[in-house]
Amino acid sequence: MKLITGKTKLLGIIGAPVEHSLSPVMHNAAIAELGVDYIYVPFPVQEVDLTQAIRGFEVIGVQGFNITIPHKQSIMNFLAEITHTAKMVGAVNTVWYTESGWQGTNTDVEGFIAPLKEIAQDWSQATAVVLGNGGAARAVVAGLGQLGCTKIHIVGRDRQKLQYFAQSWQHITEISRLLTVHHSETLPQLLPAVDLLVNTTPVGMYPDLDRSIISEELMEQLKPDAIVYDLIYTPSPTKLLGFAKARGLKTIDGLEMLVQQGAAALEIWLQQPVPIETMRNSLKQQLFG
Ligand code: NAP
């Protein structure tokens, strides 16, 4: 059991709900391994209480925190500086305190691309298809842009939301020149040219175990060297990744993104390398026993 003293520095996560967050397990495992005098605490904060909570954090000297639903956008009103990455995504998931006030970024982007960088350094010829156009898709698009992908196709089920999604990137030329949006009807035509297929929808997430966003037959359309990446981390594998594995395709599940976004945040707060393996194992233990 960690000894908490008057000098122990506070980190945490704010959200509503926050009770089921996996972040405390992962961060406190890393903190214990490093032997640094920090503790990471879940803070339930309702939307109406955000201003008071942030002021309170300043008063009690919270060093930094993660942000989850519903504060990922509204937190921006409290920040002195926001990274270009977070501005592109339109959401902040990590904040830290400096002399000039709170600063924020979005480590989901780094978390998403970390396992892709392990697979290849050069993505400049890669065509990606992203299934879904919600919040996670925004971090994925920013990540694919950072990787240097040549084309990003967004596939969704709602034409109006797809148009909004495309418009929201219009002023970011580094992305908008790569991005096209498509209704899901056209997915079969896109698949044969795909190098990376990313599922950002919750289809197939626990307890919805028996569903996949694309069918086994459609999976046959992918090239044999295509990579299938599902942001979902429970179950592992999802039905989608099961189809991809059965075809012999390379797969990535959402656990690594979760670990890597957490590691990137902890590195910002502690300003030192963090034990990623410990973070990964603590999450696996928590999720799968
Ligand atoms: P979100 O903002 O609600 O977006 C979900 C997207 O999926 C929307 O575009 C939605 O379409 C689409 N969708 C939902 N149900 C669908 C269905 N039955 N058929 C087709 N499309 C459907 O959610 P999010 O925050 O982006 O999260 C999405 C998933 O990513 C969740 O499973 C979440 O756990 C996962 N995630 C994982 C990580 C990680 O670290 N591994 C990080 C973030 C998110 P409409 O807009 O048309 O409804």
**pLDDT tens digits, residue range 64-95?**
999 999 999 999 999 999 999 999 999 999 99
DSSP 82: E
Percent above pLDDT 70 for the chain: 100
Q: Whose CA is nearest to atom 7 of ligand 1?
A: 201
Ligand 1 atom with minimal separation from the 136 CA? 26
DSSP 97: E
Residue 1 predicted with pLDDT over 90: no
Q: How far is the CA of 2 from the centre of ligand 1 (A)?
A: 36
87 is known as an active-site residue: no
Give pLDDT, residue 42: 98
Half-sphere exposure in the Cβ direction for 64 (13 Å, CA): 23
Map tokens 């405390």 to a residue.
24
Catalytic residue among 7, 9, 72, 223: 72
Helix axes of 108-119 and 254-270: crossing angle, nearest 10 degrees: 120
Could you give the CA distance from residue 179 to residue 54 in angstroms, rounded to a whole number? 36
Residue 2 predicted with pLDDT over 90: no
Q: Which DSSP string do the residues of 8-22 spell out, in sequence order? A: PEEEEEEESS-TT-S
Three-state secondary structure call for residue 115: helix
Digit-coded pLDDT (tens) for 18-36: 999 999 999 999 999 999 9
